[in-house]
Amino acid sequence: MSDETSWQPGPASVPPAAEPLGSQFGPQPVRGRRLGLHLLLFVATVATTITAGAIQQGVDPLATPGLLYRGIPFSFTLLLILGSHEMGHYLVSRRHRLDVTLPFFIPAPPIPFIIGTFGAFIKIRSPIQDKQALLDVGCAGPLIGVAIAIPVTLAGLLLSQTTVMGSGQEMVTLGEPLLYQFLSWLVFGSLPPEANVILHPVAFAGWIGMLVTALNLIPVGQLDGGHVSYALFPKYHRYVSLGCLGLLLVCGLVFWYGWLMWAVLLAFLGWRHPPPFHYWVPLDGRRKFLGFVTILVFILTFSPMPFSLG
């Protein structure tokens, strides 16, 4: 669910006045779009997420394939959030004249506890010129994604129902990040401890959108959060990455074992971040503010225990 970038660090011996900004990287064509592959993956992801959404509604896709339409609200809402996130990265990357692919959607088997997709990603195939472009690209996806997830979640909560949990009844409980708690309070007010909200598929897709935002904004390596962290604190990025990996391990041991797997995966993918080509260009005040807003979004969408059985 994270965005993939690959570029080489600029040579440390290049003096700041050696070349004007952007002289080497003019407008780049989007090479090898492979539109057929992008379209095929997207259509496959639509099919798997619709099926997953229908299964969540109790539909047996083999016995009653005519009821698969019940998965459409979940599928379309989820893909709207994921697509907006990735297109935010894509459009901002093109604005900075980067060579970037269209989004690749990744379908997943529509089985219980799987939402029908492993997310989406874009690939940047040219060097990012400076910290300003790095921060813009890193911020764009999460901020646009969460801007879509907020009204979607509100609409879904308005369609949701509240029940009272029976004694001894076990069910999967979703963690509530601060942003979700606020939206739930706007719709339901203060609920008693025994109350339980049965989420409408649209609300569930909005909740997943917040989870995806938080996962991408973990400030490690070349995740979106890693881009933002490096742009804001280039000298301390490695310490921030290592510290966050340590916190994930703690959360995995205390709250949710899934964080252990996530920490191992991020460590394997790499916790370092290459410098942009024109590494000496500083951030302006507006971008610093945008970076701290993005950090706030991470805090508001992160949940130490996304899932629990209770």
Report d(CA 208, CA 76) in Å as an integer. Answer: 13
Q: What is the pLDDT of residues 46-63, one digit of tens each?
A: 999 999 999 999 999 999
What local confidence, expressed as pLDDT, does residue 22 receive? 38
Residue written as token pair 């989007």: 30
Name residue 105's amino acid.
F
Find out whether 7 and 124 touch, Cβ atoms under 8 Å.
Answer: yes
pTM of the model: 0.87
Question: For the chain, which residues score pLDDT lower than 70?
Answer: 1-33, 112-113, 165-171, 309-310
List beta partners, residue 234: none
Q: What is the pLDDT of residues 19-54, one digit of tens each?
A: 333 334 444 444 445 788 999 999 999 999 999 999
